[in-house]
Structure 1
Amino acid sequence: MDQDDDDVISDLEQFVGYNLKRAYVIVQADFRNALGQDALAPRVFSALSLAVQFPHISQSKLARKLGIERSGLVAIVDELEGLGYLSRATVPGDRRVQALVPTEKGCRAYAEAVATVRAHEKALLADLTAAEQRTLIRLLRKIRSKGETE
């Protein structure tokens, strides 16, 4: 008795990690499609988002919020600064700390990108009810909180 392979749920498909990874690949590809191939990469968009929302955030704090090494943030900040979206400023009282200040151009670019990302997510998640979308975000944040150290 042959079963159609499409009807069988494999052991692999029962793992959260596998499903998260597959979903991430789809979301990331759709994100890049929505913004365009030459637009901000997801990590760069994320950094700009936090810098706009928290002006004068230190590079160390931004790295912690993004969950990446501070050294990995340097290239992202360099890219945003090169685009004219951010500038670095010294923090009064501690010249060793660099604060990130969004420029007017950066704020405009972010506002445009946010509108595009919201539309991309609305289309991508159209098969989920509003309640399911809230539940999904809540559950993902719950999982994410296990790895955050703030």
Structure 2
Amino acid sequence: MASLRNTERQTDDETLVETPDLEEFIGYNLKRAYVIVQADFRRALGEDGFAPRVFSALSLVVQYPNVTQSGLARMLGIERSGLVAIVDELERRGLLKRTHVPGDRRVQALVPTDKGAKAYAEARAAVRAHEDALFADLSGDEKATLIGLLAKIRAHEG
């Protein structure tokens, strides 16, 4: 979808203003950028690849083996109930397993399988390539600034 900034187009029944009011809102621009990033992410990982949330969950399980489901939900910033389907998918694909936490059989920890660690390494490389291509017009400093600004926004979470 092309940007409307600094353009004037004729539609069926009206002329759009050069710069729509929406362009001044950070949230609008973040959402538009996210749609582009997410679509490219999905293309990069292919039809049978991971959705962004599933990739994120696997990434954290690989990096923090034995994380509890509650801990993983907190790290992802989602409700524990929303995590169940993600964990079920990863377990069904043989990429992680649930284990009991010693001393508390009610709590389940998540451990990547060898297949899961390998799948994550491959997906991580694909995501890295996708981001390198998508953000090629940004300098290293600009990328670092963008990540820093997004981290400031995320600091208001929870």
Q: Give me the TM-score of the superposition, normalised by structure 1.
A: 0.94
Which of the residues 146, 152, 155 maps onto 1:136? 146
Match of 1:104 among 98, 101, 114: 114
1:126 aligns with 2:136: yes
Once the two structures are superposed, what CA deviation does each residue of 1:77-136 show, in whole Å capped at 9, x if it has no partner?
000000100000000111111000000000000000000000000000001000000000
Cα drift, residue 4 of structure 1: 4.8
| Partner secondary structure for residue 49 of structure 2 | coil
Q: What corresponds to 2:92 in structure 1?
A: 82
- What do you get for the CA RMSD once the two structures are aligned? 1.4
What one-letter code is carried by the residue in structure 1 that aligns with 2:19? I
Which is higher, the Rg of structure 1 or of structure 2? 2
Structure 1 residue 11 displacement after superposition: 1.2
1:1-150 paired onto structure 2 within 5 Å: 4-5=7-8, 8-148=18-158
- 8 Å contact kept, 2:99–2:110: yes
Separation in 1, partners of 2:7, 2:88: 52
TM-score under structure 2 normalisation?
A: 0.89
Kept after mapping to 1: 8 A contact 2:7/2:19: no
Letter in 1 for 2:59: S
C-alpha distance in 2, partners of 1:140/1:126?
18
- Larger RCO: Structure 1 or Structure 2 (Cα < 8 Å, ≥ 6 residues apart)? 1
- Give the superposition deviation at 1:8: 2.2
**Which ranges in structure 1 are unaligned for 5 or more consecutive residues?**
none
Distance 1:4 1:89, change over 3 A: closer
Task: Give the helix-richer structure, 1 or 2.
Answer: 1
Call closer, same or farther: CA 1:4–1:107 in 2, change over 3 Å: closer
Whether the 8 Å CA contact 2:100–2:108 is kept in 1: the answer is yes
Measure the CA separation in 2 of the matches of 1:93 and 1:76.
26
Q: Secondary structure at the match of 2:81?
A: helix
- Aligned-residue sequence identity (percent) comes to 69
Unpaired runs of at least 5, structure 2:
1-5, 10-16
